Structure 1
Amino acid sequence: MDSTFTLLELGWQAYFQQQLSLDDLESNRIARICSQQGSQYEIVSEFGLFTLESHPDMPSMTVGDWIVTDTEHHFLRLLEPSSVFEGIASNIDTVFLICALNQDFNLALIKRYLEITHEAQADAVVVLTKSDVCEDTAEKRAQVEKLDPLLIVETVNALDANSLRCLSPFLKKGKTIALLGAAGSGKSALINTLMQSSESGKAQRNIGQSGALKIMPSGAILLDTKGMRELQLAQFDSSAIANFADIIALEKQCRFSDCQHEGEPGCAIKAAVKANRLDAHRVADFLLLRSEDSDDDQVTKSKPQEKFYRSAQSDIRARKHSSAE
């Protein structure tokens, strides 16, 4: 396996360059974390792959982070990330939010993924898959576009490489992307199609042994960790249910104590929607959150257990956009 990469191939950008000191430029080295196994980090630099042992003095780090090391690849410091999915991944430029245009189409779920991506300070592109079998593609796309007038929304057939050309502007060399989407949304099919060799004959290259970072034929970097694949929305927003206090109070008036609000007789919430006293979209968001909370009670939660949302630092996005210019 070829373990030699340039910094640009690894996703290096001006935003990180601005954080380097003169000593860093003259005497130190730059590396990116490509996996973590127990107390060991696998890091990659222009000089190859190396193992970095964790110690108590180190900050919390994750896949995608950039660090400064000495010439012996001993840790010196962590560079400020441009985006953070706390404890899961960092320095993702664009997240493709995948949703199928079939019976699994879920506007509330897309909205939740958007909120998470924006809080992480990454850019979001909604990719609606299975457009080849959908009869109301335009209508569903319009519903998603109403979530944000600046939101980029693409409709694709994940099995057709030509259909995915609309994603090319986000797959430029050195850009790091990730995918979020429910099971069956078409994530795997989309990745497999994007990873097919391009006309230039370039194929994917794994960065490190784990394959959590892959260089795509386009030159973009796919960050595909177990944490991103298993990201559970509800565990990162345990306080969100408080935003639906009025609905919680209303459901106590339902005829049945175990009412699922899906058409049961005597459902107070459905009656309120029908009478235009409750917004149907808010109810859908509430039911999605309630469903996720119920699922989390039955499975072991993946890391991190701590609060997901990172406190926003006002200068990060400004510096990020300044670097991009």
Structure 2
Amino acid sequence: MDSTFTLLDLGWQPYFQQQLSLDDLESNRIARICSHHNNSYQLVDESGLFSLSEQADMPAMTIGDWVITDAEQVFLRRLDRASWFDNCAANIDTVFIVCALDTHFNLPLIKRYLDLVHEAQADAVVVLSKADSCEDSHEKRAQVERLDPMLIVETVNALDLSSLDCLSPWLKKGKTIALLGATGAGKSSLINTLMQAPPEQRPKIGASNALQPTPTGAILLDTQGLRELQVAQYNAGKIESFADILALTESCRFSDCQHQGEPGCAISMALTQGRLDEQRVSNFLLMRTEQTDDNIKAKSKPQEKFYRSAQSDIRARKHSAAD
């Protein structure tokens, strides 16, 4: 580690302070998990880095958790969490949901990310990027604001540091932030501008670099699990965009219909009757092929969970419409 950090530098909040005992303050160690690999946790505190072997009697823990050990680095307990992202990350204060104002603008995907953040009990700020190249940014911002009257929405040019001043209330020392957004949303540009330095010149915390100090004092939390959640949400959004075609597949004569002109194929019938666009059906079949290829590989739990969630949402809407 290139630097030493105070607890405040690492994202310490009054919520955690009120959970401490007198022994914790006088003799125990207070540390934050910054890496988890091969049944071992790497933690960081004011003295530096140390490791903790995973034991059967420990509670479930993940990157971002705050932990109490004794002076000999023996695990005592995990502090209650302020927020939790399904075994991916813990104790994130604010999530920047990044969406581009170009052809990648996707209102349903923003809604899915908002639901995810609210379920984790973190705060959400929608950051609409590429505002400098969008002629209808005000209209798109209004669409996002209509999702929730209490929602905070900011429009930025991720390549201009002064444009990011609007995010400063969430970037203060002691705060932990994370970013969610689809490929092409501008997350990397936003991070590079916020950090004001290339990756190789930034302060490091631990081997995985999952906790990254920002120049303003906040901690950027970035884990593989959060990146998988982003992919899962994006894929679920793709599935949802074909809800009408998915509903038709349930009317096919054969449960294993491949929708390539088989007898009793409801999709082929809809194409013949002009109720479906041929290009949309081609895109749907391509997506099905991609999903089949993905299923050959081992899916992560977050991807599995949100794939099932999207399909359940579609079925629920279908039954609701029928009623």
TM-score range, shorter chain: 0.7 to 0.9
Q: What residue in structure 2 maps to residue 216 of structure 1?
A: 214
Contact 1:227 1:303 in 2 (8 A): no
* Cα drift, residue 301 of structure 1: 2.0
Structure 1: runs of 5+ lacking an equivalent: 198-202, 271-288, 309-325
1:247 to partner: Cα distance: 8.3
Corresponding residue of 1:152: 152
Distance 1:37 1:24, change over 3 A: same
Deviations 1:175-211 (A, max 9, x none): 00000001111000000000006xxxxx842221221
Q: How many residues align?
A: 280
Paired amino acid for 1:214? Q
Output the TM-score relative to the length of structure 1: 0.76
Match in the other structure for 2:119: 119
Residue 141 of structure 1: aligned partner:
141
Q: Does residue 207 in structure 1 map to residue 209 in structure 2?
A: no
Alignment correspondent of 1:23: 23
CA drift of 1:227 comes to 1.4
Measure the CA separation in 2 of the matches of 1:163 and 1:223.
22
Give the distance between the partners of 1:258 and 1:42, measured in 2 at CA.
54
Change (3 A) 1:174 1:265: farther
Q: In structure 2, how many angstroms separate the alpha carbons of the residues matched to 1:290 and 1:171?
A: 41
CA contact (8 A) 1:112 1:233 kept: no
Question: Are the counterparts in 2 of residues 172 and 218 from structure 1 also a CA contact under 8 Å?
Answer: yes
Question: Hey, what does 2:284 align to over in structure 1?
Answer: none
> Are 1:96 and 2:96 matched, yes or no?
yes
The aligned counterpart of 1:230 is 228
Compute the displacement of 1:224 (Å): 1.0
| Shift, 1:294, TM fit | 6.6
Please say if 1:190 is aligned against 2:190: yes
- Map residues 35-184 of structure 1 onto 2, 5 A cutoff: 35-184=35-184
User: Which secondary structure does the structure 2 equivalent of 1:6 belong to?
Assistant: coil
Note the C-alpha offset of 1:20.
Answer: 1.2
Which stretches of structure 1, 4 residues or more, deviate above 6 A after TM superposition? 253-256, 289-295
> What's the secondary structure of 2:124's corresponding residue?
strand
Structure 1 distance, partners of 2:24, 2:186, is 43
Structure 2 residue runs of 5 or longer lacking an equivalent are: 253-258, 278-286, 307-323
Superposed CA offset, 1:249-281 (max 9, x none): 566579984759xx95646589xxxxxxxxxxx
Amino acid corresponding to residue 35 of structure 1 in structure 2: S
CA contact (8 A) 2:228 2:303 kept: no
CA distance in 1, matches of 2:63, 2:235: 19
> What is the CA–CA distance in structure 2 between the aligned matches of 1:291 and 1:145, rounded to whole Å?
35
Structure with the larger helix share: 2
Q: Distance in 2 between matches of 1:296 and 1:259?
A: 23
Q: Distance in 1 between matches of 2:54 and 2:97?
A: 33
Whole-angstrom CA distance in 2 between matches of 1:73 and 1:236: 42
Q: Is the 8 A contact 1:250 1:268 kept in 2?
A: no
Distance 1:178 1:267, change over 3 A: farther
What's the CA shift string for 1:97-131, capped at 9, x where partnerless? 01111111100000000000000000000011111
% identical equivalent positions: 63
Q: How does 1:265-284 map to 2 (within 5 A)?
A: 266=273
Asked if 2 retains the 8 angstrom alpha-carbon contact of 1:88 and 1:228, the reply is: yes
C-alpha contact (below 8 Å) 1:204/1:217 kept by paired residues: no
TM normalised by structure 2 equals 0.77
Aligned mates of 1:77, 1:306 — CA distance in 2 = 30
